[in-house]
Structure 1
Amino acid sequence: MDLVFPHTFVPWFRSVAPYIHAYRGKTFVVGITGELVAAGKLNFFAQDMAILHAMGVRLVLVHGFRPQVNEQLAAKGQTARFSHGMRITDSVALDCAQEAAGQLRFEIEAAFSQGLPNTPMANSTVRVVSGNFLTARPVGIIDGIDFQHSGVVRKVDAASIRKLIDIGALVLLSPFGFSPTGEAFNLSMEDVATQTAIALQADKLVFMTEVPGIHEDPTNPETPIDTELALVDAERLLAKLPPPMQPTDVGFYLQHCVKACDGGVERSHILPFSTDGALLMEVFTHDGIGTMVVDEKLESLREAGSDDVGGILQLIEPFERDGTLVKRDRTEIERDIANYTVIEHDGVIFGCAALYPYPEARTGEMAALTVSPQVQGQGDGDKILKRVEQRARTMGLDSIFVLTTRTMHWFIKRGFAPVDPDWLPEARKRKYNWDRRSQVLVKKLG
């Protein structure tokens, strides 16, 4: 064994533990495209899902089958037809969809039945249950086009699904629904996953897709992936985009993420299945991979205004009293209020931080990062940190730094590194309190 391995494994596993605690008993609805299966990624994906299952996550899996149905149609000399981003399902296409769904369900059940030694599936027991949980209605005729046997979800039998995931089963949904008269309709994976997540009020909706996520500039694929989008920003972006028609269009999965968040799902994710372990990286690491749409309607994360001075003072006063924070008086906070970011729940400020830029050194100080003890451990500190990082990037800064005497480990876990106080910009170094002996930690902004 590599002697260095325990020194890297133990800190890593400890850093993952908070996420394990946070997600035990939570409900995830995961939608996978047929392209994931066609690309040979199913076995590794099943292993990652089995790990989530072992961690106590309640799972619903929805599979797509676009390429498989197209392959079946081609074998019968037929051409796949689409319009308005949906398949036109005639009787031949419906037969092909049923054949493809049966084959995929068999493959998925086989993947979750693995138990080879020396693999993540060793000693795992994942019971896959499927059934007629979806009631559907026909799409009908749109712009003169008859979609025939294509449908949309009318109702999800959430009560039955909950009973199954409560006893540890993984519920598998195929994109088929049935009318009260027994007629079958071909549905889209995205619609099924979204409506199921809303019906269950799931904690997460995850799409494993062909796309890497939403780029910061959606028109330029060379720009970085926007790892977190507030719901209001996602809605604003969708309004600017043309109606998505193809799965590779920017808004194709984003529209479903927005719909889910509007329907009460707290977080929706767009992840690339081409990246091995993308699901685990998104769930168990701070920055994740792909794009997450977050519903912030229950709370407000924003820049502070003059009306917030009293709330900030009330929040930070206990931490000043015990020496965690440096004392700041009302006049100082009123003067610097534009530097502050706050997070509030129902009009009460539960967290704040200030950013003081030093443009000449292309860095900025994050000061007074505070989260109320009432909500600590719920991720508000991470949200404020990300917003401050965004503000710093907007200002053209390359890094941010903090001075702390008690919370250095929290910052180190989030990418900060300790440096000598001599690193500080000259203007800040002159104000450094050598008696307090604060540690200086820096985070580079990528």
Structure 2
Amino acid sequence: MNLKKILAGAVAAGMLWCSCAVSAAALPQKQSPMRDITTAELVKDMGIGINLGNTYESCGDWIAQWGDGTPESYETAWGSPVITQQMIQGYADAGFDTLRVPVAWTNLMGDNYTISDSYLSAVQEVVDWARDCGLYVILNLHYDGGWLANFPTDKENCMEKYKRIWTQVSDAFADYDDYLIFESQNEELGWESLWNRWGGTEGKAESYALVNEINQTFVDIIRSSGGNNPQRHLLISGYNTDVELTCDSLFQMPDDPAHRCAVSVHYYTPSGFAILEEDADWGKMRSTWGTDADFEELNRNMDLLKTTYVDKGIPVIIGEYGCPKKNKEEESVRKFLSSVCGAAYERDMCPVLWDITDLHYDRNNCKMYDDTLMQQLLAVKGDSDKPLLGDCNGDGSVSAADLVLLQKYLLGVESLSKEAAALADCNGDGTVNGLDLAVLRQTLAQV
């Protein structure tokens, strides 16, 4: 049989399976009452998460000029396909517990900072899909074109815009249960125009004070709105979501009458590995990670968060952690991601993987590209007994050795145990044949 035909059939079968995988299990409804649990208990229950990145936070004037004025034109502007219910279900099927949804709320915004009904509905649909399959959802105000950078020079207008956004969002989601968490901002709270961390202390107190004021405004807005919002668990953006800067004593958690706030930081350290794909004028790219010094740095940062916040009863969510795959050693990528995830989780923090289209999660086939990585992430929370499809030889990873074994089995040269045959059924159709070989080839080609 022609291999291209086999592969096409395998992909179609995978997409068909994905479209039929929506769970019918009874789950908490979005209008359910809030549970009597602390934010620390909630964060622990949030397990491990993933971001729906480069989707609803896409922004830029060129999108309005190029697009057709619909939410989909923004949704797809940075490379994502249109989001479907099956894609969201795939996150839950993979083993994630939490979905972070970054949003640029000024897209299609009307007069008086009025959020577009169609844009709000598109985001709300994704939140509903995530809730229907049992996922926690973190909903934020993201970079949003960078207007938050103007806070130091245009505070009145920026604060009015910020208030209008969160007033509308909190009203729209007021009746959702506590599986929905609002996050005050992304990484933009903190301004080099006021204070440069490498240039002394001038302006530092002023910059921190403005961060604290914005976060307090966020809490005040949510707590004064209706529905479940007076008791909603909230995520407070740290200073530029930087670990060290957020652990500075000048950063203050807002006063919250409900005492239901966690703090958010991001983890892209060391930047040479976790950010750069090639050398830059400010740093040298690293292709590997995993030295003793690397692990010491990771544990030092996670311990700092634990002693500053977790040990004092303030939960921590790593709202983003990640690294690119281009120009990186495959095993180093796995080691970095699983190690950051594990270091956070074992200290009672919720780690949320940063992901964009074609990085870690395949939005077309509704599954992770790298099953071995997913198994390592699941092992962090003791959930690694999930079958690793394609691991025909049972060594805990999917590699070329499994491909060779499956080829020999199909040629009648080797036999497979019942357990191995179940893992070799890569497309889930109940039989082991050439379609599974094609799916396995495709999987290895994408890793």
TM-score (norm 1): 0.38
TM-score (norm 2): 0.38
Tell me which protein shows more strand as a share of its residues. Answer: 1
Which structure's CA Rg is the greater one? Answer: 1
Tell me which protein shows more helix as a share of its residues. Answer: 2
RCO higher in 1 or 2 (8 Å CA, sep ≥ 6)? 2
